[in-house]
Structure 1
């Protein structure tokens, strides 16, 4: 689906992990629909490259190098974005890490490393941005306990691994299951302010992360490069991997007024890998 011109005009969006892959695709799509975009990315050079690409043809884009696993840096990011743009309307919690490991090789250190970003970082980013969104709501609306229109959109990234366990990614599946639960809890709490909170569950998307997974799994099972990921794609009912643009289109919809009556949902964007 082509971008909808001006659907997000004037909105301010933070996209975490936006320096490459899916996050970059989302940042570009939101900008194409009129949003000003904050490229919240661990690698500074990637953040600046994406921001420059967007700013060359579209609305303002701000490169913001940040470690999403550090709550102090998250809180400072929110303050800096508000100082720069005056508001925050959209958060896309996309940042994540993954290392596939057999169950018996998963150490406490590996567990904590992954949860620091995928679960803890995601939650406290959601919390900090949601608090700012609530602060932007007029007092009479807050005191009424309901709102007539949406006062913010939050999209958290889960995964098809959050729908079903994975033998070589127990820590990742646990985190992504947790994302769905946190999304539902936040949606229930923030409903009084008419702030929508939803999740996206992508399937196979050929990004640097998936390339790393393929390399590791191919070595583990004695396969050629690309063979493991192709075997996975062959099991997809639509018989192809997703493109970052496929995921970005779904996110843009959830960030728009077209999704004002959708909250607490986890949307599979996976070509039919999971149907639940």
Structure 2
């Protein structure tokens, strides 16, 4: 439902206004259904081809008609979105600035910005550093969201920076929902393996009301997995009949 329609219905008493999360915003706030941060792993376990697969997957997701329909189908009909890459505790790079996405044209601009972003990989894997960086980004836009969501994708466990549990708890205390996309491409460490990575993301990374994990069975499945994930998280924890019965963990295989 578009915002103009929503405001008419609300004024007539047909709808209740969505709960808006207020923070340090610009002088003219812009309501959105969700503030969505896309955090993409570029640690040394990600080679150049896999990095390109990830970036292409995120760009393609915002060209997907189903994703755009999910965005436009929210109570407000718009989201605020940004994308950064992460590796070491002090290695995060903001690649796509905050943008409002409310239809095909704006979604296409966001996809084009991902296409144009540089491809660089770094060293260690600091999920805690990525979460800390995300916390700094939520106040750096003009949006007033009903939800804040961190979409964090990766193929390994936290091995750099602060302990993950403390940073994760801070995110939860701030009311931020953390969803995961775990890529089961190679063993994350000695004695680890794909099943260990899935369990790690499920038990120690994701969190918050309605949080879920999408598991991509290899980078070949990443494109399909990220489209599924973004459409679902935009719909949110009360996304209605389409997503209400979905499991906490979804697996996506290569086509």
Give the TM-score normalised by the residue count of structure 2: 0.49
Relative to its length, the structure with more strand (as a share) is 2
Higher relative contact order (CA 8 A, sep 6+): 2
Whose radius of gyration is greater, 1 or 2?
1
